[in-house]
Amino acid sequence: MQICIFGASSATLEKKYIDPVETLGEALAKRGHSLIFGGGANGLMGAAARGFTKGGGKIIGVAPRFFDRPGILYQACDEFVFPESMRDRKKYMEDNADAFIVVPGGIGTYEEFFEVLTLKQLARHAKPIVLFNIDGFFDKLTQLIREDVSLGFIRAQTEELFGIGTTPEDLISFIETDKTDINRIRFY
């Protein structure tokens, strides 16, 4: 499978986030999966890519040309795609991925997660989506979703559209076995 990993690009993150993502990348590569990601050399993007490199996996980086500056992009990618815009970048990754793993990140990571989740609820894809809940990072997000379900803003079935895991093994198992029936829980 070609796995898209969304996550932080910040170079100032704690090791407690970096190490599990690097381990995840290595484990995915050793299982024969490839990586498609935002191309960053730093933060959790860089950790995922370094893990894939260690595991011998194929890596496709995707970033607009304005990111092509020293120290920004992961230089060991097997292939690099340079779309025109951030929107085109995201579309390329969405179209070419077989599954999505969301690791801790900021505004861009949340936006990427909610876009693929929205597309799944609209039956535009049936690809697995799973959150890597390192040190409880996504606890507040999942709590928010549950609260919005209770208030009627989000349908309860939304929680069936993605998984949550706390170990690389949890995530790999989820993406390799997810059989979400989007027709059963279609939202329109």
pLDDT band at 68 (very low <50, low <70, confident <90, very high): confident
C-alpha 138/C-alpha 181 separation (Å) is 24
Residue 18 has pLDDT above 70, yes or no: yes
Give the residue carrying structure tokens 């809940």.
133
Cβ pair 41, 71 in contact under 8 A = yes
pLDDT single digits (tens) 126-183: 999 999 999 999 999 999 999 999 999 998 889 999 999 999 999 999 999 988 776 6
Phi, psi of 102 (to 5 degrees): -110, 115
Residue 40 pairs with which residues in a beta bridge? 73
Identify the pLDDT of residue 173.
Answer: 95
Q: Is 10 helix (H, G, I), strand (E, B) or coil?
A: coil
C-alpha 133/C-alpha 116 separation (Å) is 18
Overall CATH class of domain 2-176 = alpha beta
Residue 186 has pLDDT above 80, yes or no: no
Residue 6 pairs with which residues in a beta bridge? 102
